[in-house]
């Protein structure tokens, strides 16, 4: 095996006409699928636009769950982390296999029986009052920008810059424009079907690259080759200590005090962040809520759980191979050299995946891999845009304009997507300046500072009826203050460069962000429980179908708040009906695009049937048996890989 030591800044791929044809064909196909899916559900209703008409089957849901998670940030971040520190980052993927089952078997039955569209709406029904719901809605939108849109755009832009030399802003704006078109027009139905298509494309392209990687460096030789991947700037300096691979690179369970990813944090800290992401985050849960039945939702969760085995092999290991092939670039440790190679003084591990695409993919396949990265970026952005517009429309806009019509809500949801696109473009220079070489660490650290309070409140709301609104709200506030203090300190005192003295405060230097997430979760649980026990409990009649213990109750719930869906149905609009000949052509175009034209009114019986179907969580014995066996198999696979790579 030979390593390539040539500088990478001149390695700009020249697209062959075959590559261009592949990319164009991909985009045309995606647009056609998106437009077709747009008309498969009623886009003029909240359920049709935001929940895909509650008609989705298990397989597109599973594909959408997977592709919504595997964005361009995953390709760049996971491969870069693999190049820098080995396989431990793959534990995030194996852990998700358990948490996806937790979503299907514990959280979804409660959400579906409650008949909610959004996670803030669930808390509104569970606790009453507006402050918990509004706070969570605003925080969810902030987290979407800080940990999702920003990361995916940075990673996608980095890939384009490193591999193709395209103009950064032009390429990103084109991607965002195409993404926004079918998200605005089609709603969740278009998003889920295009996600299913993009999942297939991502897997095919990534599997091709993985095979080529293991042809270059066979799997059984990687263990030796990885430890020999040391940059020349380190080898030529006998006093250098930076640039060497970690001794524990091929182990998941690492030292609890000195490791980059300590094993207690990998088990418990990751679990807390994962529960927030997979079980309470609107982007993910909204896909599962679109299932036609609870069994299809569970089936989608099981499918996504099995797919989560793949990132270790199609992303992490290729990142490690990239280091063995290009140690001087991917593993650079000298700030001046790193700045020359990848315009970052901290590290260049983020270029690990783009370098593989540029150097080892053949003509045509290179175009396929570019389509793969675009698929990852677009599928993540579609999910974020659609879910964020759902939260803004239902949880914030209706607070501002309580008498807004359903047509207005549909239009506002689309307009907010366009606003998100604008904010995303404005974030590009901020991302370039702030991320450096710690992309995946940045994601997990920010999540550990802000997500544990949300995880704690949701978990307690579902499993413990005694939690009330005061406990939930003040628990969230206390957690936010503590988390923000740590996050501000973390950004004020960044990690020292390799070889520099660590003069950060002890609370930062000696407390890993995963440990802090564990502490914050326990703190919020105790704080929430204490406040709840000291204040008046919520009467049981208000909790029917809103907790795990009451999900199958036959009693009728008395709402602490009127259901948002019911509010829309009960509201009688005073607008006069337009005569057909008076409708302008421009309005007809808008109605066609947004699905906001006049719809036939539903009878009381149809409305009751729709609500009953939306909240039905019954399963057949056959479905239960098949799903439970599948879930056990998924857990067994996860345990095997934890043990094998532990």
The structural domains of the chain, ordered by start, are 17-450+539-572+582-645 (1.20.1730.10)
Across the range 281-286, mean pLDDT stands at 82
Average pLDDT of the chain?
Answer: 78
Contact by Cβ (8 Å): 350, 342: yes
Provide the percentage of residues in the chain whose pLDDT is more than 90.
29
CA 323 distance to own-chain centroid: 27
Contact by Cβ (8 Å): 301, 101: yes
- Written as six digits, the tokens of 128 are 């009453």
Residue 291 has phi, psi (to 5 degrees) of -65, 145
Average the pLDDT over each of 42-46, 215-219, 302-306 and give the range with the smallest value. 42-46
Contact by Cβ (8 Å): 635, 96: no
- Written as six digits, the tokens of 243 are 């640039």
Distance CA 101, CA 639 (A): 14
Distance CA 207, CA 204 (A): 5
Among candidate residues 270, 268, 273, the one with its CA nearest the CA of residue 284: 273
Name the β-bridge partners of 291: 56
Dihedral sign of CA atoms 610, 615, 619, 624 in order:
positive
Name the β-bridge partners of 626: none
Tell me the CB-side half-sphere exposure of residue 65, using CA atoms within 13 A: 39
Q: Which range is most confident: 41-55, 491-505, 512-526?
A: 512-526
Across the range 442-464, mean pLDDT stands at 90
Report residue 466's pLDDT band, with 50, 70 and 90 as the boundaries: very high
- Residue 581 has a pLDDT of 44
- Residue 239 has a pLDDT of 57
The 3-state DSSP class for residue 616 equals coil
Contact by Cβ (8 Å): 334, 235: no
Across the range 548-573, mean pLDDT stands at 64
- Written as six digits, the tokens of 486 are 């740590």
Give 529-554 pLDDT, tens digit per residue.
Answer: 999 999 999 999 899 989 999 988 88
- Residue 8 has a pLDDT of 40
pLDDT higher at 182 or 20: 20
Q: Which range is most confident: 168-172, 301-305, 442-446?
A: 301-305
What DSSP designation does 129 have? Answer: S
Give 509-529 pLDDT, tens digit per residue.
Answer: 788 899 999 999 999 999 999
Residue 516 has phi, psi (to 5 degrees) of -65, -40
Q: What are the residues whose beta carbons fall under 8 Å from the beta carbon of 203, sequence distance 6 or more?
A: 310, 314
Across the range 479-494, mean pLDDT stands at 86
Dihedral class, residue 595 (left if φ above 0, else alpha if ψ from -120 to 50, else beta): left
Report residue 48's pLDDT band, with 50, 70 and 90 as the boundaries: very low
pLDDT higher at 288 or 470: 470
Distance CA 258, CA 515 (A): 12
The 3-state DSSP class for residue 223 equals helix
CA distance between the termini of the chain = 28
The 3-state DSSP class for residue 51 equals coil
The 3-state DSSP class for residue 291 equals strand
Cα R_g (the chain), whole angstroms: 25
Contact by Cβ (8 Å): 527, 545: no
Distance CA 350, CA 543 (A): 48
Contact by Cβ (8 Å): 160, 168: yes
- Residue 183, pLDDT above cutoff 60: no
- Residue 307 has a pLDDT of 93
Give 417-441 pLDDT, tens digit per residue.
Answer: 777 777 767 766 655 544 445 667 7
Contact by Cβ (8 Å): 285, 119: yes
Report residue 175's pLDDT band, with 50, 70 and 90 as the boundaries: low
Residue 56 has phi, psi (to 5 degrees) of -80, 140
- Residue 531 has a pLDDT of 97
DSSP string, 565-608: HHHHHHPPP-PPPPPGGGS-HHHHHHHHHHT-S--PPPPHHHHH
Contact by Cβ (8 Å): 327, 418: no
Across the range 365-384, mean pLDDT stands at 71
- Residue 495, pLDDT above cutoff 50: yes
- Residue 111 has a pLDDT of 92
Dihedral class, residue 54 (left if φ above 0, else alpha if ψ from -120 to 50, else beta): left
- Residue 607 has a pLDDT of 57
Report residue 405's pLDDT band, with 50, 70 and 90 as the boundaries: confident
- Written as six digits, the tokens of 356 are 């593989």
- Written as six digits, the tokens of 556 are 């009728």
- Written as six digits, the tokens of 571 are 């509201």
Name the β-bridge partners of 56: 291
CA dihedral 75, 80, 86, 92 (to 10 degrees): -50
- Residue 572, pLDDT above cutoff 50: no
Average the pLDDT over each of 171-175, 327-331, 544-548, 552-556 and give the range with the smallest value. 171-175
What DSSP designation does 575 have? Answer: P
Among candidate residues 317, 318, 330, the one with its CA nearest the CA of residue 231: 330
Across the range 613-620, mean pLDDT stands at 76
* Placement of tokens 């030979």 in the chain: 2
> Biggest alpha carbon distance in the chain?
85
Distance CA 151, CA 142 (A): 13
Helix, strand, coil share (%) of the chain residues, nearest 5: 70, 0, 30
Contact by Cβ (8 Å): 64, 196: yes
Distance CA 215, CA 27 (A): 30
- Residue 294, pLDDT above cutoff 60: yes
- Residue 459, pLDDT above cutoff 90: yes
- Residue 135, pLDDT above cutoff 90: no
Across the range 607-620, mean pLDDT stands at 70
Among candidate residues 106, 65, 84, the one with its CA nearest the CA of residue 308: 65
- Residue 162 has a pLDDT of 66
Report residue 328's pLDDT band, with 50, 70 and 90 as the boundaries: confident
- Residue 611 has a pLDDT of 62
- Residue 427 has a pLDDT of 63
- Residue 244 has a pLDDT of 84
- Residue 198, pLDDT above cutoff 60: yes
Per the document, the length of the chain is 646
* Placement of tokens 């080892």 in the chain: 360
Across the range 13-19, mean pLDDT stands at 67
- Residue 46, pLDDT above cutoff 50: no
- Residue 276 has a pLDDT of 93
The 3-state DSSP class for residue 161 equals helix
Contact by Cβ (8 Å): 192, 37: yes
Distance CA 280, CA 274 (A): 9
CA dihedral 393, 395, 401, 403 (to 10 degrees): 90
Distance CA 569, CA 619 (A): 28
Dihedral sign of CA atoms 207, 208, 213, 214 in order:
positive
Provide the percentage of residues in the chain whose pLDDT is more than 70.
73
- Residue 577, pLDDT above cutoff 50: no
- Residue 499, pLDDT above cutoff 70: no
């Amino acid at each position: 095996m030979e390593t390539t030591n040539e500088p990478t800044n001149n390695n700009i791929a020249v697209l062959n006409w075959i590559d261009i044809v592949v990319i164009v064909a991909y985009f045309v196909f995606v647009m056609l699928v998106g437009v077709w899916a747009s008309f498969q559900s009623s886009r003029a209703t909240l359920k049709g636009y935001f929940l895909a008409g509650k008609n989705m089957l298990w397989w597109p849901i599973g594909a959408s769950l997977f592709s919504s998670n595997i964005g361009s940030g995953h390709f760049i971040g996971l491969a870069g982390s693999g190049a820098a520190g080995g396989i431990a980052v793959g534990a995030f993927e194996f852990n998700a296999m358990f948490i996806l089952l937790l979503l299907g078997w514990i959280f979804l039955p409660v959400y579906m029986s409650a008949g909610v569209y959004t996670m803030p709406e669930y808390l509104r029904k569970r606790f009453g009052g507006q402050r918990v719901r509004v706070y969570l809605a605003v925080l969810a939108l902030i987290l979407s920008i800080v940990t999702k849109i920003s990361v995916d755009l940075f990673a996608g832009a980095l890939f384009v810059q490193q591999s193709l030399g395209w103009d950064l802003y032009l390429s990103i704006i084109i991607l965002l424009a195409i993404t926004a078109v079918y998200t605005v027009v089609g709603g969740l139905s278009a998003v889920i079907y295009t996600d299913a298509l993009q999942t297939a494309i991502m897997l095919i392209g990534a599997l091709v690259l993985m095979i080529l990687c293991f042809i270059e460096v066979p799997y059984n030789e990687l263990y030796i080759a990885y430890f020999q991947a040391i940059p020349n700037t380190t080898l030529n300096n006998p006093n250098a200590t930076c640039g060497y691979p970690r001794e524990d690179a091929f182990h998941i369970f690492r030292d609890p005090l000195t490791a980059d990813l300590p094993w207690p944090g990998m088990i418990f800290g990751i679990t807390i962040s994962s529960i927030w992401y997979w079980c309470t985050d609107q982007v993910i849960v909204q896909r599962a809520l679109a299932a036609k039945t609870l069994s299809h939702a569970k089936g989608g969760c099981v499918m996504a759980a099995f797919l989560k085995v793949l990132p270790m092999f199609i992303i992490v290991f290729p990142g490690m191979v990239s280091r063995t092939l290009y140690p001087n670039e991917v593993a650079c440790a000298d700030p001046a050299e790193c700045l020359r190679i990848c315009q970052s003084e901290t590290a260049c591990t983020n270029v690990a995946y783009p370098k593989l695409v540029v150097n080892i993919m053949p003509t045509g396949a290179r175009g396929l891999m570019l389509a793969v990265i675009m698929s990852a970026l677009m599928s993540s952005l579609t999910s974020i845009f659609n879910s964020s517009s759902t939260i803004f429309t239902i949880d914030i806009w209706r607070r501002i304009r309580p008498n807004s019509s359903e047509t207005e809500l549909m239009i506002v949801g689309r307009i907010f997507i366009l606003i998100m696109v604008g904010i995303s473009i404005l974030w590009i220079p901020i991302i370039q300046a702030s991320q450096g070489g710690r992309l995946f660490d940045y994601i997990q650290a920010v999540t550990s500072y802000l997500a544990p309070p949300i995880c704690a409140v949701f978990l307690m709301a579902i499993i413990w009826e005694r939690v009330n609104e005061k406990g939930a709200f003040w628990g969230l506030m206390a957690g936010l203050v503590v988390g923000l203090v740590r996050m501000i300190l973390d950004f004020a005192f960044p990690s020292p460069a390799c070889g520099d003295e660590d003069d950060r405060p002890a609370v930062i230097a000696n407390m890993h962000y995963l440990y802090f997430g564990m502490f914050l979760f326990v703190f919020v649980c105790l704080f929430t429980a204490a406040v709840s026990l000291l204040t008046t409990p919520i009467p049981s009649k208000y909790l029917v179908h809103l907790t795990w213990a009451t999900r199958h109750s036959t009693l009728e719930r008395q709402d602490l708040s009127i259901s948002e869906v019911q509010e829309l149905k009960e509201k009688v609009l005073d607008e006069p009906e337009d005569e057909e000949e008076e409708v302008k052509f421009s309005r007809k175009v808008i109605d066609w695009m947004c699905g906001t034209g006049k719809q036939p009114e539903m009878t009381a019986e149809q409305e009751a049937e729709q609500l009953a179907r939306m909240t039905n969580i019954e399963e057949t014995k056959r479905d239960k048996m098949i799903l439970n066996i599948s879930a056990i198999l998924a857990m067994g696979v996860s345990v095997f890989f934890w043990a094998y790579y532990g």
